[in-house]
Structure formats: C-alpha cells, structure tokens
Amino acid sequence: MAKSRFEYVKSYELPDILLPGTYIIARVDGRGFHKFSDAHSFEKPNDRRALNLMNHAAGCVMEDLKDVICAFGESDEYSFLIRKSSKLYNRRRSKINSTIVSIFTASYVFYWPKFFPNTPLQSPPSFDGRVVLYPSAREIRDYFAWRQADTHINNLYNTAFWALIQHGGLSTTEANKALQGTDSKDKNEILYSRFNINYNNLDSIFRKGTILVRRPIEPPQELTIPNESSGVNAKPVDETRPQVKPKRQEQYEGVTGELDILHEDIIKDGFWNARPWLLAT
C-alpha cells in the first residue's frame, strides 16, 4: 500500500526486547479494587465468587498464551510465569505486558455474570500490569514464595480484622487498633480464643491463594498397566524396557494439557519437584 511522508514517526518506536534465557513474570493488579469490591458488596474478608472469577480470567490468559506455564493469584492480583526459553512476541516487553493485561481484563468483565449471577457489574474494572525478569530458578521460587507469604500475612490480618468487626462488634478503627503490633501468633490466638476460629481450618484458597498449572497428559493406560499390576499373579516389571512416563515428563514443557487449579504450598519443594519442567525450559 501507498506510504505517506508521515511514516517516519514510526522510527520513534524503539525496541524493548527482554533479555533472552531469563524467566519472565507478568503481574496484573486491580486498580481501585477496594472501592470496586465495596460497590459490588464483596464478602469480607474473602469473596469466593471474586476469587473464582480472578482464577477464571487467569485461566483465559493461559489458554491464549501457551508459554505462560504457571500462575499464582490472590486477592486482586495475579502473577504469570513465562518460561525462560519463550519467544512470545519476540520477547517484546510492552507487547507481552499489555496483551496479558488485556486478556485478563476482558475475561474478567466478560465472565463476570457467570460468577456474579445476581450482582450486575456496575462499571468496568481495570488492572495494571508489569513485567519483571528473573535470571535463575531460585529467584522464581522465591518470587512465588513471596506472593504466597504475602497471601498468608494479608489473609490472617483480614480474617482477624473482620472477625473483630463482624463477630466482635468493633468498628473498623477499633479493629485496626486492636491488631496493631500483633504478630501471627497473636492473631491466631485472637481468632481462636475469642471467635473459636482455627485459622488453619479455613479453606486453603483463602490461606494459600490459587496456583494454575498445566497437567501433562498421562501416558496411555496400556503402557502403564504393568507398572500398576499387583497381587499374586502380577508379572514382575521389566526393569530394562524404556520407561515411557519419566521420559515424556522430561520432555514435557508445560505448554499443553489441561489446567489444574490448586491451593497448595508453593514455598516448599514439593510443588516444584513434581513439575521439573516449570523451571527447566
């Protein structure tokens, strides 16, 4: 097509390529969600519908962008891990950041009625986004640990805060004051002794946040049956034949398969050891 003499302005658009071989974290955060949650009467301290909607929107991001191989969400924020070998959008920072924010936002608004069937959306909520690079697996582990530790800290506080208000009859100012200077143990104690709430029995979605991660497709059953066999007549497993599953998992890169929605510990080794591909490619 014909080009205009104004085309030169395009040259002011400068490259913003992310360092290759580096893990990419994209985090979206709700803008003004305190007000937004009040306007839509979110339950306190946690609104399960709102969390489910966040999780669904995050799932839409992972559905669209396969190189997002893991995500963690709490409250009004979500962090996405893009594998270090990713060439998504040629690793352009703005493109990656804006696309993730937009898919997330669009999905949040689009699926609102599904999660809040009786609460009409009053105004379009929005999110901001940022992209942060991490050179090593250790830092990725610590990043997610940071977010899950934050989830715990915030949720324990909020649980105690709203218990004091909802069950203790305190005002918000009084509740704030009552919690000033308390540590985790104090808050647990307040919950237990005054409101008979055992914090550790609360639903894990509130205490641990939500992890989204793909599940590698299981090897076809015919192949695995011998491994499962037991009982008197079971043939001994042929140790010499190549094992399908481990080999597959070794090659599995986390970009295919169904999404799992988990509310488990992401700080200890278990989660990561079970999914070595997350930090490998």
Q: Which residues bind a second copy (CB under 8 A)?
A: 1-2, 4, 6-15, 17, 19-22, 28, 31, 60, 64, 84, 93-95, 97-99, 101-103, 105-111, 121, 123-136, 139, 142-143, 145-146, 149-150, 153-154, 157, 183-184
Q: Is 56 annotated as a binding residue?
A: no
Closer CB to a second copy, residue 132 or residue 255? 132
Closer CB to a second copy, residue 123 or residue 227? 123
Q: Is 79 annotated as a binding residue?
A: no
The tally of CA atoms less than 13 A away on the side-chain side of residue 211 is: 22
Closer CB to a second copy, residue 46 or residue 105? 105
Pairwise CA distance, residues 100 & 131, whole Å: 10
Q: Is 93 annotated as a binding residue?
A: no
- What minimum distance in Å lies between the beta carbon of 204 and a second copy? 19
The tally of CA atoms less than 13 A away on the side-chain side of residue 33 is: 18
Write down the residue that tokens 């050179």 correspond to: 135
- What minimum distance in Å lies between the beta carbon of 7 and a second copy? 6
Q: Is 214 annotated as a binding residue?
A: no
Closer CB to a second copy, residue 2 or residue 232? 2
Q: Is 33 annotated as a binding residue?
A: yes
Which phi and psi angles does 200 have, rounded to 5°?
-65, -15
Contact 77, 13 (CB under 8 A): no
- Of 123, 111, 121, 124, the residue nearest 56 (C-alpha): 111
- Which are the contacts of 221, defined by CB distance < 8 A and separation ≥ 6? none
Closer CB to a second copy, residue 8 or residue 222? 8
Pairwise CA distance, residues 223 & 240, whole Å: 14
- What minimum distance in Å lies between the beta carbon of 67 and a second copy? 15
Q: Is 31 annotated as a binding residue?
A: yes
- What minimum distance in Å lies between the beta carbon of 135 and a second copy? 4
The Cα-based distances of 112 to 52, 90, 107, 227 in angstroms read 10, 32, 8, 45
* Token duo for residue 115: 């999660």
Closer CB to a second copy, residue 143 or residue 252? 143
- What minimum distance in Å lies between the beta carbon of 161 and a second copy? 12
Q: Is 32 annotated as a binding residue?
A: yes
Tell me the binding residues for Mg(2+): 29-30, 76
